[in-house]
């Protein structure tokens, strides 16, 4: 079973940066390799962050994101999102960087995960009401979470460990969120933003005001 001293994890980069993506992929691989997964299990995990700040990508690394997967009994991953991974049923996310960046640094267990989802749904509603149409900030389709995968990636989550909390601990603060109103879990509260903040946040999410 995977064990880790969370006090030893230090921030390595902003959400969606190459160092952060590399570290998240590495821990995901380690957690799956440490678990006795069924020999016939195939599963993929990927996250792509669209419209990231220009400083986080480069000509050599143009796409912000990472993956890890189990295929043919081998666990692999990295700061890329290959078609091979996307072709495997699992959990594949494609989201606007600005929408999920800040709250991804908040640590929580199962209850916190549910509350974050509720807060984010409210954020989408507020943005959509403001725009006058349904905002498309990304998401995922047909998620597949086999129980062995859940068990492997959530070891110690209620005590502050688990993949999400490891990723949160690796994340540095991004300056764009300074001064924005937030929920207790770090989700931006659109209705409490000033007009200037709303315009800046929409731009951060890659949304053009019609």
pLDDT (tens digit, 9 = 90+) per residue, 61-90? 999 999 999 999 999 999 999 999 999 999
Helix ranges restricted to H, the chain: 18-33, 83-86, 97-100, 110-131, 147-153, 162-170, 195-204
* 108 to 157, 163, 164, 181, 192: CA distances (angstroms): 8, 11, 8, 20, 24
Span 145-179, pLDDT tens digits: 999 999 999 999 989 899 999 999 999 999 999 99
Cα 15 from Cα 12, distance rounded (Å): 9
The pLDDT confidence band at residue 100, using thresholds 50, 70 and 90, is very high
**Sequence ranges of the domains in the chain:** 6-110+136-176
Topology classification of domain 6-110+136-176: Nonspecific Lipid-transfer Protein; Chain A (3.30.1050)
Q: What is the pLDDT of residues 101-116, one digit of tens each?
A: 999 999 999 999 999 9
Give me the mean pLDDT over the 22-45 stretch.
97
């Amino acid at each position: 079973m995977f064990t880790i001293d969370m006090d030893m994890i230090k921030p390595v980069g902003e959400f969606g940066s190459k160092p952060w993506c590399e570290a998240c992929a590495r821990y995901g691989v380690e957690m799956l390799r440490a678990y006795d997964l069924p020999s016939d299990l195939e599963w993929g995990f990927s996250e792509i962050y669209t419209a990231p700040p220009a400083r986080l990508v480069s000509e050599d690394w143009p796409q912000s994101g990472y993956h890890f997967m189990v295929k043919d009994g081998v666990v692999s991953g990295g700061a890329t999102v290959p078609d091979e991974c996307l072709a495997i049923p699992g959990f594949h996310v494609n989201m606007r960087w600005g929408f999920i960046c800040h709250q991804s640094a908040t640590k929580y267990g199962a209850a916190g995960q549910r509350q974050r989802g509720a807060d984010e749904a409210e954020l989408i509603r507020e943005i959509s009401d403001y725009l006058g149409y349904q905002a498309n900030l990304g998401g995922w389709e047909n998620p597949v979470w086999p129980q062995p995968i859940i068990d492997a990636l959530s070891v110690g989550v209620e005590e502050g460990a688990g993949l999400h909390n490891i990723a949160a601990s690796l994340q540095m603060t991004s300056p764009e969120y300074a001064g924005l109103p937030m929920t207790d879990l770090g989700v931006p509260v659109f209705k409490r933003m000033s007009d200037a903040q709303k315009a800046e946040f929409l731009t951060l999410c890659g949304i053009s005001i019609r």
